């Protein structure tokens, strides 16, 4: 689980929208963007190249 303070600071690198943690991944809240970023060893990997469309 990602610290809520860190989550409040993070933004989607593709569209700068807020993100949430869901099912062990970081998910962009912007519906048209909808990228999902992995979390590896407790660290969010906020790279567009690593994201998948959800």
Model pLDDT, residue 3 = 93
- Count of beta carbons in the 10 Å neighbourhood of residue 46: 18
- pLDDT beneath 70, residues of the chain: none
CATH of residue 9's domain is 2.20.25.10
Q: pTM to 2 decimals?
A: 0.92
Model pLDDT, residue 1 = 84
- Are 42 and 35 in contact by the 8 Å Cβ rule? The answer is no
CB burial of 15-45 (b: ≥16 within 10 Å; e: otherwise) equals eeeebebeeebbbbebeebbbbbeeeeeebe
Domain region containing 29: 4-53
> What digits encode the pLDDT tens for the residues 24-37?
999 999 999 999 99
């Amino acid at each position: 689980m990602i610290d809520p303070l860190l989550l409040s600071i993070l933004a989607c690198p593709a569209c700068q929208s807020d993100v949430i943690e869901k099912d062990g991944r970081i998910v962009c809240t912007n519906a048209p963007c909808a990228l999902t970023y992995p979390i590896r060893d407790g660290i969010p990997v906020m790279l567009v190249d690593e994201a998948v469309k959800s």
